[in-house]
């Protein structure tokens, strides 16, 4: 029998939100048994609560956004992944703006903060969802497929294919959640160079600064384009590494993009409200597909969303 867990003390992280560009502070607080994961918007009148549940997902454009009674919290997937990877069931998360800090584009810093706060066992049994039959979600237009089937523990196999000359077909495998902290939490989000200006034009990645994402370059890029992008992100210059990535970062793993996609799945699955016991196989996952998959699991297993 597994027990529920919370943290031993409050701990805060500050920084800039990736898409809104808002500077804010996120504070994890201990919470009582059966509390679950909840956000509290302390910047708003009445400090309204937004439950981290899949029923509250309202947008999946470049991240997972949740909302309750008109109150939004953007880009929650890395936080959710850090909590699942740390084995935390109950926590209250104060946020003084709409979007949590993106930090380095991974879950590593959040997990370090949670570890600093201390993981505390509580006197109540953890509720887990044990999968009893195969469940499949497909999105023919995108070509993605996610399945979960019965197993003795939680594991994930991921395969991504962007039909790209620089980002080849990649796979990532997590055999047990105990691997998450070292093998997947450090893996950062990524973007294609050609998407940057489009994302900026649509008021996205306003908090991007080329230190929190891997940037892949598929085509020949002129010096003029590189200078323009450097200017957009307030850099003196940027260049292209061998292998087709900007020189803003060095890869931690050859398959870091696939590992980050696995990180996102862990985070989005946590919106189910309890840990899942089953084997997940994902081909070309994304936040829309992930959250629709979670809804399908909840419906099939008769879990209240």
H or E element at residue 265: helix 256-269
Q: Identify whether 287 is a catalytic site residue.
A: yes
Rounded (5°) CA angle 204-180-254: 70
Whole-angstrom distance, CA of residue 256 vs CA of residue 211 = 15
d(CA 43, CA 162): 39
Q: Are 69 and 85 in contact (CB under 8 A)?
A: no
Task: Quote helix, strand, coil % in the chain, to nearest 5.
Answer: 25, 30, 45
C-alpha to C-alpha distance for 39 and 10, rounded to whole angstroms: 14
* Separation in Å, CA 45 to CA 25, 38, 41, 238, 301: 17, 17, 9, 43, 37
Catalytic residue among 19, 29, 78, 287: 287
Residues designated catalytic: 287
């Amino acid at each position: 029998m597994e027990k529920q867990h919370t943290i031993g003390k409050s701990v805060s992280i500050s920084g800039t939100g990736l898409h809104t560009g808002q500077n804010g502070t996120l504070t994890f607080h201990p919470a009582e048994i059966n509390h679950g994961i909840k956000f509290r918007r302390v910047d708003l009148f009445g400090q309204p609560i937004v439950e981290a549940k899949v029923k509250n997902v309202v947008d999946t454009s470049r991240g997972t956004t949740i909302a309750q009674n008109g109150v939004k919290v953007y880009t929650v997937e890395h936080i959710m992944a850090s909590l699942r990877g740390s084995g935390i069931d109950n926590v209250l998360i104060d946020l003084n703006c709409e979007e949590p800090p993106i930090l380095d584009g991974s879950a590593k810093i959040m997990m370090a903060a949670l570890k600093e706060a201390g993981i505390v066992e509580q006197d109540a049994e953890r509720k887990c969802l044990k999968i009893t039959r195969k469940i499949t979600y497909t999105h023919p237009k995108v070509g993605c497929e996610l399945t979960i089937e019965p197993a003795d523990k939680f594991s994930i196999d991921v395969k991504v294919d962007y039909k790209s000359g620089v980002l080849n077909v990649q796979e990532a495998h997590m055999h047990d959640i105990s691997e998450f902290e070292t093998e997947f939490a450090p893996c950062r989000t990524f973007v294609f160079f050609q998407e940057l200006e489009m994302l900026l034009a649509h008021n996205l990645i306003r908090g991007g600064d080329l230190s929190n994402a891997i940037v892949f370059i598929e085509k020949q890029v002129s010096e003029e384009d590189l200078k323009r992008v450097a200017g957009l992100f307030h850099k003196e210059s940027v260049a292209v590494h061998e292998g087709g990535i900007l020189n803003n970062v060095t890869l931690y793993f050859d398959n870091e993009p696939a590992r980050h996609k696995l990180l996102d799945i862990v985070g989005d699955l946590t919106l189910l409200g309890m840990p899942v016991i089953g084997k997940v196989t994902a081909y070309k996952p994304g936040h829309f597909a992930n959250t629709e998959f979670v809804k399908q699991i909840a419906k099939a297993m008769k879990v209240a969303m």
